[in-house]
Amino acid sequence: MTRLLPLALLAGLALLPLGLDANPYLLNALITTGILTIGAMSLNLLLGFTGQLSLGHIAFFGIGAYVSALTSLGFEVELGFGIRVVHEPWPAALGFLLAVVAAGLCGWLIGRLSFRVRGAYFVIVTISFAEVVRLVALNWVELTQGPLALTGIPALTLGLPGLGSWTLRTKVQNYYLVLAVGTLCYLMIARLVGSRFGRAMRGLKENESLALSVGINATRTLTVAAVISAAMAGAAGSLYAHYLRIIDPDVFLFATTVTMVIMVVGGGKGTLMGPVVGGLVFGLLPVALRPVMAPEAQWIVFGLVLIAILFVMPRGLVPGLAGLLTPRRRGEAPTGSAIQPVEVRS
């Protein structure tokens, strides 16, 4: 069941464009949803598996988008002290790789900075980081064109030596690219979560003192998780830039982070399929709402749905529905409700 569902979903998604008859509006919605879902999967690695709520996740996504765009567009900036940096355009695929590396480095930096302090502090540091990056993107006009946006970003070109190369210009091509990257990220996360590293993350989330006492290095584990998570978000950002071919500082909006958080929490944080299901549901929800209501009203619905999920299905759609489908075994103890005696302080 747990293995069949992802495979069935993958098969369905792979066949979907045939059924859609290349409807550009729906394909576009699916591609942007897919890109955000990759972002949500990467956020889930932190939020779901380590329990650290990163509310600045969009920073890694946006950094990926800008690094990738600037690498493939080229730029020329004055750094002061008479130092000029001139960068000639590179292939977009290299931009993708650099986006992954740059976002990962930022993840490392944020991890080193903020994992000494957790909880509310971590949340606020990540938000702050995203705002600083947004303000840089807005104000460093020489590099980023500021609010005028970076335009004419080339499409990604995939090439294998000896086999020729393809430039991904059509929506269908981009759809399959996003699906492939998404599947790869899913598989990587699945491997990580089931490994020694995944157990260390779970241990830290469930009982940090105990995890330390069996020799798990908290700072290292969380920082590595942040690096991988940020790198994946950077990859999603790069896909976004090369698909839309235009990005502006609005790519860093807090609202996008909130969308990803809703996807993770709504789908089921700490589960592999949660962000995928949540991503599809909440990514496509605006498509369904669009004919019936204004964008402001859509956001009101989003907010209400988030609140409703937290009240009704606090663990998210996937675990919630799975719980409904599997009949409760007789005599099964309710989880997490072990009665423990009051601690005797000594």
Partner 1 sequence: MTSSAPESPILSVEHVGVRFGGLVAIADLHFDVRPGEIVSLIGPNGAGKTTAFNVMTGFLRPSQGVVRFRGTALTGLQPHEIVRLGLSRTFQRTSVFPDDTVFDNVMIGLHRRTRSRLVDTLLGRDRAAERRLRAEARDLLDRVGLTARADEKAGALAYGEQRLVGVALALATEPAMLLLDEPVSGMNASETRVFVRLIRAIRARGVTILLVEHDMPMVMEVSDRIAVLNYGRLIAQGAPAEIRSDPAVIEAYLGQGSAAREAAMRAASVPTPVPAPMPVPATPETAVAEASHA
Partner 2 sequence: MDQLLQHLVNTLILGGTYALLGIGLTLIFGIMNVVNFTHGALYTMGAYLMYLAVTALGLGFFLALPAAILGGLLLGAVIEFVLLRPLRGSDIDTTMLVMIGAGIVLQSGTLWIFGGVAKSVPTPFPDAPLHLGPVSVSWLRLFVLGAALALIGLTYALINRTRLGLAMRATFQDHDTAALMGVNVRLIYTATFAIGSSLAAAAGALLGPVYVVFPQMGGLAELKAFAIVILGGLGNITGAAIGGFILALAEELGAGYISSGYRDAMGFLIIIAVLVFRPTGLFARAERIG
- Binding residues for partner 1, rule: CB under 8 A, are 188, 191-192, 195-197, 199-200, 202-203, 206-207, 209-218, 224, 333-341, 343-346
Contact between residue 138 and residue 147 where contact means Cβ atoms under 8 Å apart? yes
Gap between the Cα atoms of 223 and 65, Å rounded: 22
Contact between residue 303 and residue 344 where contact means Cβ atoms under 8 Å apart? no
Nearest CB to partner 2, comparing residues 216 and 306: 306
Binding of partner 2 by 147 (CB under 8 A):
no
Binding of partner 2 by 145 (CB under 8 A):
no
Binding of partner 2 by 28 (CB under 8 A):
no
Please report how close the Cβ of residue 213 comes to partner 2 at its closest, in angstroms: 14
Spatial CA neighbour of 33 closest among 303, 262, 320? 262
Please report how close the Cβ of residue 286 comes to partner 2 at its closest, in angstroms: 13
Please report how close the Cβ of residue 214 comes to partner 1 at its closest, in angstroms: 5
Interacting partner of 307 out of partner 2, partner 1, none (Cβ under 5 to 8 A depending on kind): partner 2
Tokens of 165: 């190369």
Nearest CB to partner 2, comparing residues 258 and 322: 258
Please report how close the Cβ of residue 68 comes to partner 2 at its closest, in angstroms: 24
Nearest CB to partner 1, comparing residues 194 and 295: 194
Alpha helices in the chain (DSSP H): 4-20, 24-47, 57-73, 92-114, 120-139, 141-144, 171-193, 196-206, 208-213, 218-244, 254-267, 274-289, 295-312, 317-325
Nearest CB to partner 1, comparing residues 133 and 218: 218
Contact between residue 71 and residue 62 where contact means Cβ atoms under 8 Å apart? no
End-to-end alpha-carbon separation of the chain, Å? 49
Give the interface segment with partner 2, choosing from 110-118, 150-158, 198-206, 284-292 (CB under 8 A). Answer: 110-118
